[in-house]
Amino acid sequence: MKIVLSLAIVLILSACTTVGGLVSPNPNETVTAFFTHIYAREFDEANQLLTTDPPIALREIEAEHSGIFDNIDYQLVSEIVEGNRAYLTVNISALDFTQLMEAVISEAFFWAFVEMTEEELYELVNELLIEKMNAEDAPTIENEITMVLMLERNKWHIVPDNALFDGLTGGVLSFAEYAAGW
């Protein structure tokens, strides 16, 4: 009788775990899936792995800065799971947006003295930026960041922050803050 009762309890616990208690995927798999979606330009799928609502504008970032995610790479350094939070230290290698913009600004400086509309100037700067981003020797930067993940409805979701945004874009946010202080 004890064996039958034990077996019944094990079966019930297994069913409960399968239905509602199993956490899938683990934090590392979530981060891997996120970057896989970024590589494949599946930005809606990548956003589903984030906690933000509304999602961050990955598609718009790529549209405005065509190729910004082309040279992105990541490597997991460490992982700590504490209850419903996980902390993954990740090295992200991406185009160095600050160096790219410094090169664009230095080459485009004289255009400020040429008679042209603001739209024409914007178009020229954007074309030069895309050219620099697609160059063989485009500068890259490595950032070590800590990605925070939260367990929600038995799934791990990435909590985006400025460090993640800067890591993905090679410093767009840092450059914008620097430029705002001019």
Read off the CATH number of the domain in which 68 is found. 3.10.450.50
Query: Which residues make Cβ contacts (< 8 Å) with residue 108, sequence separation at least 6?
Result: 121, 124, 125, 128
Cα separation values, 173 from 54, 55, 79, Å: 19, 17, 26
Residue 127's domain comprises 2-180
CA atoms within 13 A on the CB side of 60: 4
pLDDT of 154 reads 92
Overall number of domains in the chain: 1
Band of the pLDDT at 66, cuts 50, 70, 90?
low
Query: Are the CB atoms for 80 and 86 separated by under 8 Å?
Result: yes
User: How do residues 108-149 score in pLDDT, each as one tens digit?
Assistant: 887 778 888 888 888 888 888 888 888 889 899 999 999 999
pTM flag (> 0.85): no
